């Protein structure tokens, strides 16, 4: 525990009373601080000690898409810190009757400490909505309507998935010993076949937007036509240049896997498809959506060979690259006939994948902690010294 606290002293951060909406909004020191606090809270919890820093207060969650891992990670994180959790069901609220974002955000924030939002279905809308909520609570606080301002955390949007990619980074730190040891290592972020369509772009964009900051050689691969948001790719390329790493883009999964230390095969919908899908969703055009899905599934089926199988894994560094996935994966012969990953590969890495997912509650807890605790080192030391057991 003490080494986490000592490490935190090295970082200059400005996370108190702020939001966490995109990883690239935050400095390297702030990224390091989130990982350090997450590690500290994880160690406390594993030792059976309390991480509670709140006596009361609400953590509000807004999920505009289905979720298992992130939903329960947010609830677990908030509960571990001492917050109650309440999920806003937009169907059962006055949002369904035209209540504005400004009004909704204010009404749910009177005793709230944090608002976690997942909004990844509408390209160009998810992150914008989060910023609208953040602006509304900022205005409410500035005008004295809210005596405190809840922080807003991105639980996944159309652009980035910060809680997932930072959990992935914790996994890499644990597997390779340190963040510095990631420098020069090759990570293959590749598209993979899925029998479904409309998967968000946020995970691959989040991975290239974060890993390029640590001097890694990031290899992005996808079939022609499955491009990501151009601005995100350009940002990742610039970050790689600044960190001494690299970003290469190809249309070959085999090329990306060759001599890779880490592979991250994950399906996503093409940028242009997500643009079209957003317009159809906003218009409620069900026939149009059905036709778009039909066309996309036909296109996906042209790329069945984009599977993480044993042959491709054998071409990685020493044939033993670390396989990563945000889950749930489309497992060939298990969850679908043909999918993102061969069952034998997935089974070999199952425990590591679950450990990867297990970092997410602590990442979210660290984001909440740093946004609400003004003197994080002092508070962590107090938690350590108190040694209060979680179970009485």
Rounded Cα distance between 117 and 113, Å, is: 14
- The reported pLDDT for the residue numbered 168 is 98
Both tokens assigned to 23:
């990883």
- The reported pLDDT for the residue numbered 94 is 62
Instruction: Give the residue-averaged pLDDT of 317-329.
Output: 98
- The reported pLDDT for the residue numbered 92 is 65
Of the candidates 274, 283, 262, the one whose C-alpha atom is nearest the C-alpha of residue 356 is 262
Q: Where residue 392 falls among pLDDT bands split at 50, 70, 90?
A: confident
Both tokens assigned to 122:
């509408």
Q: Do 135 and 115 touch, CB atoms closer than 8 A? A: no
- The reported pLDDT for the residue numbered 330 is 98
Q: What is the DSSP letter of 93?
A: S
Q: Where residue 83 falls among pLDDT bands split at 50, 70, 90?
A: very high
- pTM value is 0.96
Instruction: Give the residue-averaged pLDDT of 309-328.
Output: 98
pLDDT at residue 169 is higher than 70: yes
- The reported pLDDT for the residue numbered 73 is 98
pLDDT at residue 245 is higher than 80: yes
- The reported pLDDT for the residue numbered 96 is 58
pLDDT at residue 391 is higher than 90: no
Both tokens assigned to 350:
């199952």
Task: Enumerate domains of the chain plus CATH numbers.
Answer: 2-160+360-386 (3.40.50.1370), 165-357 (3.40.50.1370)
DSSP H helical ranges for 9-125? 28-46, 69-81, 101-107
pLDDT at residue 63 is higher than 80: yes
Least confident interval from 118-122, 168-172, 360-364: 118-122
Over pLDDT 90: what percentage of the chain?
89
Of the candidates 192, 196, 250, the one whose C-alpha atom is nearest the C-alpha of residue 218 is 250
DSSP H helical ranges for the chain? 2-8, 28-46, 69-81, 101-107, 126-142, 162-176, 202-211, 230-243, 253-257, 271-283, 286-300, 310-314, 343-348, 350-358, 360-372, 376-386
- The reported pLDDT for the residue numbered 8 is 82
Q: Do 250 and 218 touch, CB atoms closer than 8 A? A: no
- The reported pLDDT for the residue numbered 342 is 98
Mean residue pLDDT of the chain comes to 95
pLDDT at residue 185 is higher than 90: yes
pLDDT at residue 6 is higher than 80: no
Rounded Cα distance between 120 and 135, Å, is: 19
- The reported pLDDT for the residue numbered 159 is 97
- The reported pLDDT for the residue numbered 97 is 61
Q: Where residue 343 falls among pLDDT bands split at 50, 70, 90?
A: very high
Q: Where residue 291 falls among pLDDT bands split at 50, 70, 90?
A: very high
Residue 12 CB partners (closer than 8 Å, separation 6+): 27, 29
- Residue by residue, DSSP assigns 278-317 as HHHHHHT-HHHHHHHHHHHHHHHGGGTT--B-HHHHHTSG
- Radius of gyration (C-alpha) of the chain in whole angstroms: 21
């Amino acid at each position: 525990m003490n080494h986490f606290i000592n490490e935190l002293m090295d970082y200059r951060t400005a996370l108190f009373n702020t939001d966490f909406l995109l990883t690239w909004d935050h400095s390297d020191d702030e990224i390091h601080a989130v990982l350090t606090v997450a590690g500290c809270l994880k160690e406390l919890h594993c030792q059976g000690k309390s991480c509670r820093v709140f006596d009361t207060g609400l953590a509000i969650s807004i999920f505009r898409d289905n979720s298992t891992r992130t939903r329960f990670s947010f609830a677990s994180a908030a509960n571990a810190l001492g917050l109650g959790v309440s999920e806003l069901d937009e169907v059962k609220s006055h949002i369904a009757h035209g209540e504005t974002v400004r009004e909704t955000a204010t009404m749910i924030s009177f005793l709230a400490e944090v608002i976690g939002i997942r909004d990844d279905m509408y390209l160009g809308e998810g992150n914008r909505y989060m910023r609208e909520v953040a602006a509304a609570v900022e205005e409410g606080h500035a005008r004295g309507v809210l005596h405190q301002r809840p922080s807003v955390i991105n639980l996944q949007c159309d652009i980035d998935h910060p809680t997932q990619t930072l959990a992935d980074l914790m996994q890499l730190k644990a597997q390779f010993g340190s963040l510095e040891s990631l420098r020069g290592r090759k990570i293959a972020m590749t598209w993979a076949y899925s029998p479904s369509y409309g998967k968000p772009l946020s995970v691959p964009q989040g991975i290239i937007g974060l890993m390029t900051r640590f001097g890694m050689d990031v290899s992005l691969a996808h079939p022609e036509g499955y491009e990501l948001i151009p601005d995100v790719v350009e940002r990742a390329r610039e970050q790689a240049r600044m960190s001494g790493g690299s970003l290469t883009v190809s249309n070959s999964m085999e090329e990306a896997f060759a001599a890779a230390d880490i592979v991250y095969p994950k399906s996503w919908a093409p940028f242009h498809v997500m643009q079209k899908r957003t317009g159809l969703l906003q218009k409620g055009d069900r026939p149009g959506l059905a036709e778009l899905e039909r066309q996309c599934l036909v296109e996906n089926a042209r790329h069945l060979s984009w599977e993480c199988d044993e042959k491709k894994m054998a071409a990685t560094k020493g044939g033993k690259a670390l396989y990563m996935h945000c889950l749930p994966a489309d497992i060939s012969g298990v969850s679908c006939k043909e999918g993102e990953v061969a069952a034998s590969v997935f089974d070999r890495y199952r425990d590591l994948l679950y450990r990867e997912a297990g970092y997410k509650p602590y990442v979210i807890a660290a984001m909440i902690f740093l946004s609400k605790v003004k003197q994080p080192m002092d508070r962590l030391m107090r938690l350590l010294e108190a040694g209060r057991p979680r179970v009485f």
